[in-house]
Amino acid sequence: MVLLICQGGITVTGSLVRVTGSGLGCDTWPLCHEGSLVPVAGAAPWIHQTIEFGNRLLAFVVAAAAVLVLIAVYKAKRSDAIKTMAWVSFLGVVVQAVIGGISVRLDLQWWSVAVHFLPSMLLVWVAAVLYMRIAETDAADPTRRFPAHAQTWTVIAAVALCFVLVTGTMVTGSGPHSGDSGVGMEGRLDLDTRMLAYVHAICMYVYLIATFVVAFILRRSDAPADAKRTVWVLIALIFVQWAIGVIQFRMGVPRWTIPVHIGMSSTVVAFSAFLFAHGKRRLPTLV
């Protein structure tokens, strides 16, 4: 759970970097400034340096959590699948640090920032599934806990969620928050933000409908109560995220809404992963 919180949390701090215009508070990578690993007085506004450098330091916290999970699953002699997810979590943090450095060197081109954000959502998904799998028993056979067609719809919903996330980065990429106060609209996505917001909304509605289908199937089946609770919590979270998106659209994307929207994105992705993982589990048989 700590790893999952860290993976989701660093996306929120990353959004704080964007909305405060601190993306180039450290203007190079892996150093903060040329010739200095740490912030330098006068090289950039101190608040921007503090926020950007602080976000870089948090990457070490996430990496530490991933390393601890990796050590724990090896010590516990868990299954190869669990070990693989632990490795993906750790290596993903390393790759993300490199991608973040590249985006800085590219002066926060919109697509490089999008490429930096999207793998974080994948790592949240992996951490959520890993959290579910660690609680299972490796010796038990996988048991289907709800109908196969419901599981198919969880996959359809997950694909729709991918489109929601990708189009969301495009909306942000065309919007007013470049990530650094000195960059302005240079290197932004040159498409109409309103049009992209409509496309993003359509993808969200497809995702919501697919999730409702899963809820309907589970309600009519003998699926376990925890799976049913998960799908209804997920639907509630999607509606909250929808409301935040509407507020952003109506108010012209105020800064405070972006970290909230990003934090909810991580939460929605995590619960989507929980729902998917409920489909088949290795749970001990009660005698």
Residues 201-233: b if buried by 16+ CB within 10 A, e if exposed: bebbebbbebbebbbebbeeeebeeebbebbee
Amino acid at 271: F
Q: What is the pTM of this model?
A: 0.85
Task: Please tell me the distance from the alpha carbon of residue 24 to that of residue 105, in angstroms, as a whole number.
Answer: 9
Task: Please tell me the distance from the alpha carbon of residue 180 to that of residue 24, in angstroms, as a whole number.
Answer: 6
**What are the start-end ranges of the E strands in 133-182?**
143-144
Largest CA distance in the chain: 69
Task: Please tell me the distance from the alpha carbon of residue 67 to that of residue 89, in angstroms, as a whole number.
Answer: 9
The pLDDT, as a whole number, for residue 286 is: 43
Task: Please tell me the distance from the alpha carbon of residue 94 to that of residue 113, in angstroms, as a whole number.
Answer: 16
Collect all residues with Cβ–Cβ distance below 8 Å to 50 and sequence separation of at least 6: 25, 39
Task: Please tell me the distance from the alpha carbon of residue 3 to that of residue 63, in angstroms, as a whole number.
Answer: 9
The pLDDT, as a whole number, for residue 287 is: 37
For residues 85, 91, 92, 96, the Cα torsion angle rounded to the nearest 10 degrees is 170
The pLDDT, as a whole number, for residue 188 is: 63
Residues 153-187: b if buried by 16+ CB within 10 A, e if exposed: bbebbbebbbbbbebbbbbbbbbebbbbeebeeeb
Q: Look over the chain and give the mean of its residue pLDDT values, rounded to a whole number.
A: 85
Q: pLDDT tens-digit profile of 2-48?
A: 889 988 888 888 877 777 777 677 777 778 888 888 888 776 777 88
Check if the beta carbon of residue 281 is closer than 8 Å to that of residue 135.
no
In the chain, which stretches have pLDDT less than 50? 178-180, 182-184, 286-287
∠ CA 29-31-35, rounded to 5°: 130
